Amino acid sequence: MNNFTYSYPVKVCFGDGVAKDSLKAELQKYGKNILFAYGGGAIKRVGIYDEIIAVLNECGKVVTEFSGIMSNPTYTKVQEGARLAKDNKVDFILAVGGGSVIDCCKIVSAQAKLDQDIWDFEYQQHGLPTEYIPMGAVVSAFGTGAEMNNGAVITNEVLKQKSPLWGAFYDFAVLDVGYTMTMPQKQVISGSFDTLSHCMETYFGSPRETNLSDEINEAVMRNVIKNMRATLKNPDEKFVRSELIWAAAMGENGILKLGKVTDFQCHMLEHQLGAYTDCNHGFGLAVIHPVLYRHIYKSAVSQFAKFAVNVWGVKPDGKTEDEVAIEGINALADFIKEMGLPTTFSEMGITDTDWKSIADSTIITGGCCKKLTKEELLNILIECK
């Protein structure tokens, strides 16, 4: 394993029915002016909004609402939130929702304390913010693990770039199983595949010799696969849901990444697809992963073979390492079909877009086992059509 220093700032409140008591305990630590951030109104339809407003009122908070945060949150929306935070002298941000809401608020928290444009600050001046408005997250839609890290994926509409920005860590994250039970099944499967993708993107980074982080990762991947199958059979089973929620957090709480340089080339390519098409993130990952892996596996054939044996149960006897690796990739592709996830862009309704511009604007990651060219990325996109 590579050298590392590990410290983790996010307090996790996990369980069924923990939201109210956890929020009451945590909110007393912060000032009275609260920015209450959420998405398109789903939390109102299922009663979560009313419960949280009641807690905020009981705690004597003054609430400013920041609503309408969309999937694939835009840079314009970030700036709107930052203005609200500044104008209302916000002491604390409470983000309630899924990864989009949670990501957006990380950058709102930083931008509200920064006197210059945060996109330019991070991408042109290569700086990182150091002051933030403190935050808490209540997860009502899981999969991204966004509540566990300080990275956010934001779409800059002007630049047509969906890229990472770095903001604040959450002080606490409430993972209330009951709050996620109203998620549509399609969203549960899409989010859970995003979790599996995070695990794979970490696993195929370097080093690729057997190490503790990878062995823990293999267990998490097996758990996600098992519970994705289980939730298809019984969507209302809370134990299964709780396993998937914690797996999502494990994928992004740093444990699996200790001593690793991660890959995330698939994510970078899908992000740019999303910048041009506003597509479902988990769906895009499901289409790209098997195609991408068939392009790169020979550069890390031993790791792909371990993945096949230890995650998918491929029997290696009498087979070459190459054959075992391919069988693992095929097992992944078969699982994607089994889950009802799309296997081509056309199944997602994407029949034509500027494929070359997507490829040309995709970030090339350092941890990928093969350093891909823009032409190879274009070929992968075309194969996914």
- Domain coordinates of the chain in residue numbers? 11-180, 185-384
pLDDT of residue 7: 85
User: What mean pLDDT do residues 264-280 have?
Assistant: 97
- Whether the Cβ atoms of residue 311 and residue 225 lie closer than 8 Å to each other: yes
Cβ–Cβ under 8 Å, residues 248 and 143:
yes
Is 197 strand, coil or helix? helix
Top-level class of domain 11-180: alpha beta
Q: Between 97 and 7, where is the model more confident? A: 97
Average pLDDT, the chain: 97
pLDDT exceeds 90 at position 291: yes
Q: Which of 264, 176, 338, 332 is nearest to 272 (CA)?
A: 264
Average pLDDT of the residues in 86-90: 98
Q: Is the pLDDT of residue 2 over 90?
A: no
CATH of domain 185-384: 1.20.1090.10
> 364: Cβ–Cβ under 8 A, 6 or more apart, which residues?
265, 268, 371, 372
With H, G, I as helix, E, B as strand and everything else as coil, classify residue 130. Answer: coil
**321 CB burial (10 A radius; 0-12, 13-18, 19+):** middle
Distance CA(79)–CA(14), nearest Å, equals 31
Beta strands 151-156 and 161-166, pairing class? antiparallel
Q: What is the pLDDT of residue 46?
A: 94
- Predicted confidence at residue 346, as pLDDT, reads 97
The residue-averaged pLDDT of 259-271 equals 97
**Res. 374: pLDDT tops 90:** yes
Contacts 24+ apart (CB under 8 A), 20-26: 20/51, 20/55, 22/172, 22/174, 22/176, 23/52, 23/55, 23/59, 23/94, 23/136, 23/138, 23/174, 24/55, 24/58, 24/59, 26/136, 26/171, 26/172
Using CA atoms, how far apart are residues 99 and 146, in angstroms rounded to an integer? 5
Distance of CA 368 to the CA centre of its chain: 18
The CA distance from 287 to 345, in Å, is 7
Q: Is the pLDDT of residue 234 over 90?
A: yes
Strand 172-176: give its sheet, edge to edge: 11-15, 172-176, 135-139, 92-97, 33-37, 62-66
The average pLDDT across 4-25 equals 94
CA distances (Å), 341 to each of 74, 282, 345, 380, in order? 26, 9, 11, 18
Closest to 288 in 3D by CA, of 212, 376, 360: 376
pLDDT confidence of residue 6: 85
- Residue 194: the pLDDT is 98
Asked whether the beta carbons of 16 and 180 are under 8 A apart, the reply is no
SS3 (DSSP) at 297:
helix
Q: Model-level pTM?
A: 0.95
Give pLDDT, residue 166.
97
Which of the 8 DSSP states describes residue 269?
Answer: H
Task: Answer whether 11-180 and 185-384 agree in fold.
Answer: no
38: Cβ contacts below 8 Å, ≥ 6 apart: 49, 65, 66, 67, 69, 95, 96, 97, 101
What single letter denotes the amino acid at residue 34?
A: I
CA atoms within 13 A on the CB side of 110: 24
Residue 40: predicted pLDDT:
87
Give residue 152's identity as a one-letter amino acid code: A
Find tokens 């990275």 and name the residue. Answer: 151
Angstrom distance (rounded) from CA 278 to CA 210: 38
Centre a 10 Å sphere on the Cβ of residue 115 and count the other Cβ atoms it contains: 6
| Mean pLDDT of all residues in 22-34 | 97
- Half-sphere CA count of 33, side-chain side, radius 13 A: 9
**H/E element holding 164?**
strand 161-166
Predicted confidence (pLDDT) per residue in 201-219, tens digit:
999 999 999 999 999 999 9
